[in-house]
């Protein structure tokens, strides 16, 4: 079936993108700034969409030029997910808000057991935001979208006054088609199940924080932002009876496990000694007084599967480039209190509780 | 308030400042509270200041003691 | 991480724990108080109690400077922000401490108060340089570990002519707290002290010698990592069994008898003793806290802004006082874990990661669950 890529349908200005409007001069994408006219629905907005968004995100398929994209009919159940992205700084080692917004929503759809098909993207731009930065961000989204094979088919642009947004906020929504025979849910964890993670924990959060706090790394820590639907496809094909798949983003592994514990009415026992954490991330956390269990990831999976499936699944994961450091980290246990507990390196036991408020770094 | 950790001095800078390294993470800190620190020394770091030079010999002795304690009659 | 990971080695830990098992006499209890917020945190975070026999009891003492700060002191900081419009620079730990009127620094920040979280006093000086038309106040809390950096900041502020910089000084002293604990009539029964790690790198081991001498209690100074704590417990048990009471040093790699003379001199240059200071849980304690010397009075925020100290009693149901004195455990407080949680703290023991209540809630409350 032909992949239905659409050009960016123009919002509300009544001008179809395949009729090239004549603009007095091209946008100055190198030195220009976003101004209020770019959000007003008039010619300036059409030009921004044509010369920046459509050029990067669209392709040679003709635009329908309507307020939304008409999708083909599908056999099967659809999944939809949405996410807002407000990361600061906008550019960080390993990525930017653009590719992050594409990867994040693709992953949210994929962990439901669905094949991601389409994305929409809405932008809230701050007056005065550099068009050069916006171009970089949209180009990055376009690349991420192309590499993942999931096109952006509809979108929106608004501009708010200077000071009312942090450069740009991006919201992406993803639509996917649920695979047959797959039942993934946070409520499916069962005592005795094995818990795995797909690789090193805390890379994304540390990369962003290091940027913010101006910490120098000998080996720079790079965000792990990545689209995981290919990896998930391989995993589900080999092990269709995986119980839970989640991507541990804000709040880290600890938050994800606590959420699942609540949903499934179970407890967890994980093993500190086997948690995969890069030594630079551990050191950075030590210096900032943070716990890697709570630091965000953007290209990792938490997987819960029946125990007898674990070693086979681990092999499949490690064979995939995005999960070479996958590891078994613990198991699901009976616990009416739904605590997440951890065996410490000392052999003692501690809880891994919900984050309370923001993770304020300890100085002492 | 006690959070402090040992880090290795990798560079001495002007004005009592130095750069330390903790497993590849570098940070600029102050040596205003210590004396006679050389590149390669380990210092105990707290809130951006070196509090004391780490005595490497004593550190090794302490670890050796821990090993002996563990090894002696099960 | 060199000289960190080795001191967290699980096998070595079990070895020392086994040694404790061999020497701890089953017919008696060993009640050991630790005095360092860092130790409170390490004990909970590594689950050290699981390696100890049940008759070795670890009691948390008032070693967390956030926890011992009375409500009235946070109120002072809040008044400065709201009434004087200062930029308040603070370590992160203070942001959630509950103050009067259901306020906290975090809530005041949400209202628009200019509060900046810093990692180092150097950051505070930088903010003062960058905002010459604003008053910048550093909220100085902490035991003797944290006082020297504040001393350096004050000296540098004078050298750099930073007239807009001042310090709201709440630095407190460890030996004074230990005396206060031992002086409580019918206070908690104790057999020994685990001495603080980094406070001791600054003050040395000498200041603790008075405790074995006057009270007959052994003190073992312990390093910051879990193996240090476990070994210090071992050393205390050996002393108690032998009827000895001495100061011993487990943290030899960083603590000497004299401590850091340079840091001590800098502190002595800038600070002097207050006649008395109110501590949460201990009431008014003589010679237990510091203020800026008259020569540095120009940098004293209390004087610059004419801040009076208004004592405010704790919430009626809050047992922080008893918990700080080691008389009660967190789970024995009526509101622990229900009304008072890290999200909604009523008392300061629930705020700092090193507070006994927060540590128990975050890491250990599964032990109370039936």
Q: Which residue of C has its CA nearest to B16?
A: C152
Cα B16–chain centre separation: 16
Distance from CA of A85 to the nearest CA of C (A): 22
Inside any domain, residue C256: no
Q: Same structural domain for residues C126 and C153?
A: yes
Inside any domain, residue C292: yes
Contact C149 B1 (CB under 8 A): no
Inside any domain, residue C311: no
Range of the domain at A151: 36-178
Placement of tokens 């807002």 in the chain: A84
Contact C263 B51 (CB under 8 A): yes
The proportion of chain B whose per-residue pLDDT surpasses 70, expressed as a percent, equals: 95
Distance CA C326, CA C181 (A): 9
At C93 the pLDDT is 82
Q: Which of C8, C96, C353 sits opposite A345 (nearest CB)?
A: C8
- Would you say C185 and C209 are in contact if contact means Cβ atoms under 8 Å apart? no
Q: Same structural domain for residues C197 and C232?
A: yes
Domain segments of chain B: what residues? 5-71
Residue A358 reports pLDDT greater than 70: no
C91 in helix, strand or coil? Answer: coil
Q: Assess C353–A contact: CB distance below 8 Å, yes or no.
A: yes
For the segment(s) B5-71, the CATH number from 2.60.40.10, 3.40.640.10, 3.90.1150.10, 2.30.30.140 is 2.30.30.140
Inside any domain, residue A100: yes
pTM: 0.87
Go through chain C and tell me how many residues it has: 370
Q: Same structural domain for residues C154 and C190?
A: no
Contact B66 C16 (CB under 8 A): yes
In which band, very low, low, confident or very high, does the pLDDT at C186 lie, cut at 50, 70 and 90? confident
Q: How many Cβ pairs closer than 8 A exist between chain A and B?
A: 42
Inside any domain, residue C97: yes
Residue C241 reports pLDDT greater than 70: yes
Q: pLDDT tens-digit profile of A145-174?
A: 999 999 999 888 899 999 988 899 999 999
Q: Assess B62–C contact: CB distance below 8 Å, yes or no.
A: yes
At A65 the pLDDT is 58
At A266 the pLDDT is 98
Inside any domain, residue C309: no
Cα–Cα distances (Å) from A162 to A34, A98, A165, in that order, read: 10, 21, 7
Q: Same structural domain for residues C161 and C277?
A: yes
- Residue C138's DSSP bridge partners are C89, C167
C166 in helix, strand or coil? Answer: strand
Contacts C7 to B, Cβ<8 Å: 63
- Would you say A257 and A271 are in contact if contact means Cβ atoms under 8 Å apart? no
Residue A20 reports pLDDT greater than 80: no
In which band, very low, low, confident or very high, does the pLDDT at C199 lie, cut at 50, 70 and 90? very high
Q: Same structural domain for residues C194 and C161?
A: no
Q: Please state, rounded to an integer, the average pLDDT across all residues of chain C.
A: 93
User: Which pairing describes strands C192-195 and C30-34: parallel, antiparallel, or unpaired?
Assistant: parallel
Q: Which residue of B has its CA nearest to C249?
A: B62
Inside any domain, residue C17: yes
Q: Same structural domain for residues C193 and C218?
A: yes
At B23 the pLDDT is 87
Domain containing A58 — which CATH number? 3.30.1330.10
Average pLDDT of the segment spanning C184-203: 91
At A231 the pLDDT is 98
Q: Same structural domain for residues C39 and C60?
A: yes
Contact B66 C119 (CB under 8 A): no
Q: Assess C361–A contact: CB distance below 8 Å, yes or no.
A: yes
- Of A23-37, A46-60, A275-289, B48-62, least confident by mean pLDDT is A46-60
- Would you say A341 and A261 are in contact if contact means Cβ atoms under 8 Å apart? no
Contact A283 B3 (CB under 8 A): no
* Average pLDDT of adjacent 10-residue blocks, chain B of 74 residues: 82 93 90 96 93 96 93 64
Number of domains in chain A: 2
Average pLDDT of the segment spanning C185-193: 87
Q: pLDDT tens-digit profile of C306-365?
A: 999 999 988 889 999 899 888 999 999 999 999 999 888 898 888 887 889 999 999 999
Residue A187 reports pLDDT greater than 70: yes
Q: Please state, rounded to an integer, the average pLDDT across all residues of chain A.
A: 88
Cα C239–chain centre separation: 26
Backbone phi, psi, residue A195, to 5°? -110, 130
Contacts A341 to C, Cβ<8 Å: 366
Average pLDDT of the segment spanning C148-152: 97
Residue A339 reports pLDDT greater than 50: yes
Q: Same structural domain for residues A47 and A174?
A: yes
At C128 the pLDDT is 97
Residue C164 reports pLDDT greater than 70: yes
Q: Assess C196–A contact: CB distance below 8 Å, yes or no.
A: no
Average pLDDT of the segment spanning C5-17: 93
Task: Give the neighbours of chain B: at least 3 Cβ pairs within 8 Å.
Answer: A, C
Contact B69 C6 (CB under 8 A): no
Q: Which of B44, B61, B74 sits opposite C198 (nearest CB)?
A: B44
Q: Which two tokens stand for residue C256?
A: 């000497």
Distance CA A267, CA A340 (A): 6
Residue A67 reports pLDDT greater than 80: no
Other beta carbons within 10 Å of A176: 27
- Of A185-199, C75-89, C172-186, C256-270, least confident by mean pLDDT is C172-186
Q: Same structural domain for residues A208 and A75?
A: no
Distance from CA of C298 to the nearest CA of B (A): 22
Q: Which residue of A has its CA nearest to C63?
A: A364
Q: Which residue of B has its CA nearest to A281?
A: B25
At A196 the pLDDT is 98
Q: Same structural domain for residues A101 and A206?
A: no
Residue C73 reports pLDDT greater than 90: yes
Inside any domain, residue A18: no
How many CA within 13 A on the CB side of residue A245? Answer: 27
Q: Same structural domain for residues A244 and A296?
A: yes
Domain containing A341 — which CATH number? 3.90.650.10
Average pLDDT of the segment spanning A225-238: 97
Q: Which residue of B has its CA nearest to A219?
A: B24
From its phi and psi, is residue A252 left (phi > 0), alpha (psi between -120 and 50) or beta?
Answer: left
State which H helix or E strand residue C59 sits in.
strand C56-60
- Residue C194's DSSP bridge partners are C34, C220
Contact C117 A349 (CB under 8 A): no
Average pLDDT of the segment spanning A72-100: 93
Mutation site, A203, A291, A363, interface B, largest B CB count within 10 A: A363
Range of the domain at C336: 320-365
Contacts A338 to C, Cβ<8 Å: none
Residue A364 reports pLDDT greater than 50: no
At A11 the pLDDT is 39
Number of domains in chain C: 3
At A18 the pLDDT is 45
Q: Same structural domain for residues A251 and A160?
A: no
Q: Same structural domain for residues C152 and C219?
A: no
- Of A181-195, A239-253, C280-294, C347-361, least confident by mean pLDDT is C347-361
CA geometry: angle at C166 spanning C160 and C172, to 5°? 120
Contact C152 B8 (CB under 8 A): no
Q: How many Cβ pairs closer than 8 A exist between chain A and C?
A: 94
Which of C145, C146, C75 minimizes the C-alpha distance to C313?
C75
Contact A364 B5 (CB under 8 A): no
Distance CA C116, CA C123 (A): 10
At A297 the pLDDT is 95
Q: Same structural domain for residues C268 and C355?
A: no
Please indicate whether residue B3 or residue C248 has the higher confidence score (pLDDT): C248
Strand ranges inside chain A, DSSP E: 78-85, 91-92, 95-96, 114-126, 152-160, 168-178, 194-197, 216-217, 244-246, 267-271, 302-305, 327-333, 340-343, 349-351
Residues of A with CB under 8 A from a CB of C: 273, 279, 282-283, 286, 288-289, 337, 339, 341, 344-351, 353, 356-357, 360-364
At A308 the pLDDT is 97
- Of A64-68, A213-217, C114-118, least confident by mean pLDDT is A64-68
Residue A21 reports pLDDT greater than 60: no
At A37 the pLDDT is 86
At C155 the pLDDT is 97
Inside any domain, residue A17: no
Cα B66–chain centre separation: 20
At C232 the pLDDT is 97
Please indicate whether residue C62 or residue C232 has the higher confidence score (pLDDT): C232
Inside any domain, residue A8: no
What single-letter DSSP state applies at residue C336?
Answer: B
Please indicate whether residue A61 or residue C274 has the higher confidence score (pLDDT): C274
Q: Assess B72–C contact: CB distance below 8 Å, yes or no.
A: yes
Contacts A361 to C, Cβ<8 Å: 92, 119
Q: Which of A283, A289, A362 sits opposite B22 (nearest CB)?
A: A283
Average pLDDT of the segment spanning C30-58: 92
At A357 the pLDDT is 63
Q: Write down the number of H helices and E strands in chain C.
A: 14, 13
Q: Assess B26–C contact: CB distance below 8 Å, yes or no.
A: no
Average pLDDT of the segment spanning A76-101: 94
- Alpha-carbon torsion A123, A128, A129, A130, what sign? positive
Average pLDDT of the segment spanning A102-111: 97
At A2 the pLDDT is 27
Inside any domain, residue A9: no
Contact A216 B2 (CB under 8 A): no
At A46 the pLDDT is 80
Q: Assess B10–C contact: CB distance below 8 Å, yes or no.
A: no
Contacts C11 to B, Cβ<8 Å: 70
Other beta carbons within 10 Å of C125: 22
In which band, very low, low, confident or very high, does the pLDDT at A15 lie, cut at 50, 70 and 90? very low
At A5 the pLDDT is 34
Contact C2 B72 (CB under 8 A): no
Average pLDDT of the segment spanning C190-212: 95
């Amino acid at each position: 079936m032909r992949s239905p890529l659409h050009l960016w349908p123009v919002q509300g200005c009544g001008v179809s993108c395949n009729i090239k409007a004549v603009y007095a001069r091209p946008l100055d994408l190198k030195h220009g700034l976003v101004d209020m006219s770019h959000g007003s629905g008039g010619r300036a907005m059409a030009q921004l969409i044509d010369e920046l968004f459509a050029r990067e995100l669209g392709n040679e398929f003709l635009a329908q030029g309507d307020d939304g994209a008409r999708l083909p009919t599908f056999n099967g159940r659809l999944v939809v997910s949405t996410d807002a992205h407000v990361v600061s700084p906008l550019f960080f080692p390993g990525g930017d808000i653009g590719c992050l917004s594409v990867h994040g929503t693709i992953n949210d759809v994929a962990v439901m057991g669905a094949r991601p098909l389409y994305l929409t993207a809405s932008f809230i731009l701050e007056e005065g935001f550099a068009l050069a930065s916006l171009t970089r961000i949209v180009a990055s989204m376009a690349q991420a979208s192309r590499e993942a094979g999931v096109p952006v088919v509809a979108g929106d642009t608004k501009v708010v006054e200077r000071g009312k947004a942090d450069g740009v906020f991006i919201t992406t929504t993803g639509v996917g088609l649920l695979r047959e025979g797959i039942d993934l849910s946070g409520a499916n964890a069962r005592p005795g199940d094995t818990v795995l993670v797909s690789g090193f924990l805390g890379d994304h959060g540390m990369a962003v924080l290091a940027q913010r706090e101006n910490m120098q790394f000998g080996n720079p820590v790079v965000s792990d932002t990545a689209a995981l639907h290919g990896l998930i496809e391989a995993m589900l094909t080999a092990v269709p009876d995986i119980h839970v798949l989640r991507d541990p983003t804000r709040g880290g592994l600890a938050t994800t496990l606590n959420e699942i514990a609540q949903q499934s009415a179970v407890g967890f026992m994980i093993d500190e000694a086997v948690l995969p954490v890069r030594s630079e991330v551990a050191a950075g956390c030590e210096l900032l007084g943070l716990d890697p269990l709570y630091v965000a990831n953007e290209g990792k999976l938490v997987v819960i599967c029946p125990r007898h499936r674990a070693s086979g699944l681990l092999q499949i994961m490690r064979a995939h480039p995005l999960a070479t450091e996958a590891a078994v980290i613990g198991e699901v246990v009976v616990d009416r209190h739904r605590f997440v507990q951890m065996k410490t390196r000392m052999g003692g036991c501690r809880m891994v509780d919900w984050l309370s408020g923001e993770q304020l770094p300890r100085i002492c | 308030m006690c959070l402090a950790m040992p880090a290795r001095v990798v560079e001495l800078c002007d004005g009592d400042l130095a750069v330390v390294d903790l497993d590849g993470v570098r940070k600029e800190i102050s040596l205003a509270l210590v004396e006679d620190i050389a590149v390669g020394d380990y210092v105990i770091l707290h809130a951006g200041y070196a509090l004391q030079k780490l005595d490497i010999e004593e550190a090794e002795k302490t670890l050796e003691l821990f090993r002996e304690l563990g090894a002696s009659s099960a | 991480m060199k000289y960190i990971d080795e001191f967290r080695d699980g096998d070595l830990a079990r070895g020392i724990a086994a040694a404790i098992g061999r020497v701890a006499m089953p017919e008696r209890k060993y009640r050991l108080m630790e005095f360092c917020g860092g130790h409170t945190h390490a004990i909970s975070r590594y689950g050290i109690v699981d390696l100890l026999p049940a008759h070795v009891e670890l009691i948390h003492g008032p070693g967390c400077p956030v926890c011992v700060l009375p409500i009235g002191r946070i109120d002072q900081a809040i008044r400065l922000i709201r009434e004087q419009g200062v930029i308040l620079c603070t370590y992160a730990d203070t942001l959630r401490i509950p103050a009067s009127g259901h306020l906290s620094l975090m809530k005041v920040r949400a209202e628009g108060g200019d509060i900046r979280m810093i990692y180092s006093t150097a950051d505070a000086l930088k903010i003062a340089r960058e905002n010459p038309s604003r008053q910048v106040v550093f909220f100085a809390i902490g035991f003797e570990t944290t006082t020297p950096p504040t001393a350096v900041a004050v000296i540098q502020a004078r050298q750099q002519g930073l007239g807009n910089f001042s310090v709201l000084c709440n630095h407190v002293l460890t030996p004074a707290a230990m005396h206060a604990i031992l002086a409580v009539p019918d206070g908690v029964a104790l057999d020994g002290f685990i001495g603080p790690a980094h406070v001791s790198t600054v003050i040395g081991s000498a200041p603790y010698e008075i405790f074995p001498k006057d009270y007959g209690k052994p003190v073992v100074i312990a390093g910051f990592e879990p193996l240090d704590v476990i070994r210090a417990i071992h050393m205390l048990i050996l002393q108690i069994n032998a009827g000895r009471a001495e100061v011993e040093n487990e943290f030899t790699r960083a603590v000497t008898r004299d401590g850091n003379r340079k840091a001590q001199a800098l502190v002595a240059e800038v600070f002097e003793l207050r006649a008395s200071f109110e501590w949460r849980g201990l009431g008014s304690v003589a010679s237990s806290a510091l203020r800026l010397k008259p020569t540095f009075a120009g940098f004293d925020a209390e004087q610059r802004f004419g801040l009076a100290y208004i004592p405010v009693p704790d919430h009626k149901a809050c047992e922080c006082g008893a918990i700080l004195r080691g008389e009660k455990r967190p789970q024995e407080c009526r509101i622990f874990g229900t009304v008072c949680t890290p999200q909604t703290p009523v008392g300061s023991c629930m705020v700092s990661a090193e507070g006994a209540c927060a540590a128990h809630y975050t890491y250990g409350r599964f032990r109370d669950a039936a």
